[in-house]
Structure 1
């Protein structure tokens, strides 16, 4: 989700931070970010120390290189997830299970992982495909759309509603609230929208705790944690995270991928020519994930230690920038170029690493594979509408605010 820092005051540099490792960097507002956050952050990656400290957003470390980022994400004993948002607010309720570490995280994650096993996703595929087909069919005669509002947000929220056994018509209630929270405005407006989302989720949680079914919500909100059932506040926090994670990240990935394909007809033609080749489509999708990473969540240092000669101290905040793993030129040749035929698909951390790797990764990949095939079969030629260059948003999840597309040809 996008979170404006709301903080212009610079933090004082702690005494243990070397002067040569200080860089003025704001994750919510950096040079070039509005035109493309991944390329702008890659420029920062190549021009800055591998690990540096910034006075912005409460003061925190930033790790920019793939080896370090991956090591930190896989080491919760030293880099805790108990606070992942910056600036850090230690008084705010934790987002579960995102902001807890093993072993509690392991217990909290189990019901969600079981509910999204590959065989469950396989069973969902016909409904996901039907949804994508119906959305594309509705847009095709219009000759254009605002992709974020008309498709990228609609597809994942309908899938969420299917998972929790609520009518798809509920999206008309829920989507405006989620949009108001995710996409900004004033802090007061976001707080108001957040409270409305909590109220909605609370009603769902209470209904499923009273009369459980077999849907995802029933499984999660009645999870056994040790000897006890998960508490109602924790169940509400859990379901809220599932909603935001399922909507925000998928919508952002869909938007970045579609923008790239709209602007790059040669790549689009390659995909259109190989839509029935499962391996080619899978490799192309992973290449797009690599190039257009979206997430950057913080960690909290748990003890005093030096890491590659960088002096970390207990309670330091650090931002291991997941999205830069796929853009590290120490691992990947020409990382800003998209090449669907790389000899070996490059690694990325779009879905995280370690204990907090995304349990919804299988479903996310299936959604985007289905989208690519259904969209490109019916709308193989499309472009960004003239004068409508999209604005990119920077934050915990980088996203596109609006993407106006047009096409002149009917279905192939």
Structure 2
């Protein structure tokens, strides 16, 4: 099949619907010559199996096109038992109790961001909110001033959305130097922050190398910013363009179970991630002749859009009798250790935003553009809403 994960027909308008169209029109598993040549798995049963079987489907290379000479992004590009050891300190730093303790600060951050926007009656949600909220939370976690976002956000944006390879490489180099300074400072004088915990991680009783620590910190930076910003943006776009769903959710913000189920339905519909795996041995699977060292792309986002599991998968229904499974936060050894924090951030956002700005819409004449990649997201999202009335003085 002629399939390019970075350029799917219709993808700029609706990334998830475009990948779903590929799912409907293709064999369950197929080969594409694009991006170095690789297999693609599109159905929930197969994707879930591959993510849960690191012995046969290794995470040692997850980016396409595959570059075996590039430094590995740890712990993302590692398998058990190394991955297990590397992940422990991050998982412990994001235990539910710690997330509970963070909640008041996250809520205050959301309120402050809304305060800065509400009187304007308009914003670019991606630039003015979605990028800033998770970046500030990241900076809090690693004990750095929030003002650092003014330097970091443009670099991350250039790396993710850079128009040329040269622009991406320049941003990557600047991020590398920034993270290197943090790693060296926290290894020389560790504190209690997340950065100190992960850069001093030990495997087999020995501290990880400086390069591995830099890789680890860089991954946390991107994971904490890019994925949350994308999730927030897709959810907000849906609510801006579906007034009935927005009204129902706004009316039931105090119903914890309803909000939780609504969020899971939105995660299912608007999956964002797709990361490759490397086949570890020769074997046949459902008639497909996998060979050792083949690359395969199990598309996570399609698990929640598989019509073999979900009726009318492109439709968002807050009243589904049973929440459909999705892999928005992965599965198996590489399930997202920050999932509890991510869910809490988005729940706080929904409650605070919808209470204060319940009626908002796409700015007239604007069309959000989807960007496809390992993480899909929106380039921008222009919103408008009625300015709050102020009492006469």
1:269 and 2:240 aligned = no
Query: Among 195, 199, 202, which residue is 2:177 paired with?
Result: 199
Cα RMSD of the aligned pairs, angstroms, is: 0.9
What TM-score, normalized to structure 2?
0.98
Aligned to 1:318: 296
Aligned to 2:115: 137
Between the aligned partners of 1:184 and 1:284, the Cα distance in structure 2 is: 34
Query: Among 5, 11, 16, which residue is 1:38 paired with?
Result: 16
Task: Give 1:137 deviation, angstroms.
Answer: 1.2
Query: Among 97, 101, 112, which residue is 1:119 paired with?
Result: 97
1:172 and 2:119 aligned = no
Aligned to 2:43: 65
Does the Cα contact within 8 Å between 1:272 and 1:377 map onto a contact in 2?
A: yes
Between the aligned partners of 1:381 and 1:314, the Cα distance in structure 2 is: 54
Query: Among 346, 349, 356, which residue is 2:324 paired with?
Result: 346
Does the Cα contact within 8 Å between 1:377 and 1:411 map onto a contact in 2?
A: no
Residue deviations 1:42-81, cap 9 Å, x none?
Answer: 1110110000000100000000000000000000000000
SS of residue paired to 2:119:
helix
The 5-angstrom pairing of residues 5-404 of structure 1 reads 23-404=1-382
Between the aligned partners of 2:242 and 2:52, the Cα distance in structure 1 is: 36
Unaligned runs of 5+ in 1: 1-22
Residue deviations 1:128-155, cap 9 Å, x none?
Answer: 0000000011100000000000000000
Between the aligned partners of 2:162 and 2:332, the Cα distance in structure 1 is: 30
Does the Cα contact within 8 Å between 1:381 and 1:409 map onto a contact in 2?
A: no
Between the aligned partners of 2:258 and 2:389, the Cα distance in structure 1 is: 23
Task: Give 1:409 deviation, angstroms.
Answer: 4.4
Unaligned runs of 5+ in 2: none
Between the aligned partners of 1:361 and 1:252, the Cα distance in structure 2 is: 14
What TM-score, normalized to structure 1?
0.94
Runs of 4+ aligned structure 1 residues displaced above 6 Å come to none
Task: Give 1:184 deviation, angstroms.
Answer: 2.2
Task: Give 1:378 deviation, angstroms.
Answer: 0.4
Task: Give 1:344 deviation, angstroms.
Answer: 1.1
Task: Give 1:411 deviation, angstroms.
Answer: 7.9
Between the aligned partners of 1:362 and 1:216, the Cα distance in structure 2 is: 16
Residue deviations 1:207-226, cap 9 Å, x none?
Answer: 11111000000000111111
Q: What is the number of residues matched between the two proteins?
A: 390
Does the Cα contact within 8 Å between 1:140 and 1:411 map onto a contact in 2?
A: no
Between the aligned partners of 1:397 and 1:70, the Cα distance in structure 2 is: 18
Between the aligned partners of 2:211 and 2:282, the Cα distance in structure 1 is: 33
Between the aligned partners of 1:220 and 1:100, the Cα distance in structure 2 is: 15
Does the Cα contact within 8 Å between 1:272 and 1:380 map onto a contact in 2?
A: yes
Between the aligned partners of 2:169 and 2:389, the Cα distance in structure 1 is: 43
Between the aligned partners of 1:184 and 1:360, the Cα distance in structure 2 is: 26
Does the Cα contact within 8 Å between 1:379 and 1:411 map onto a contact in 2?
A: no
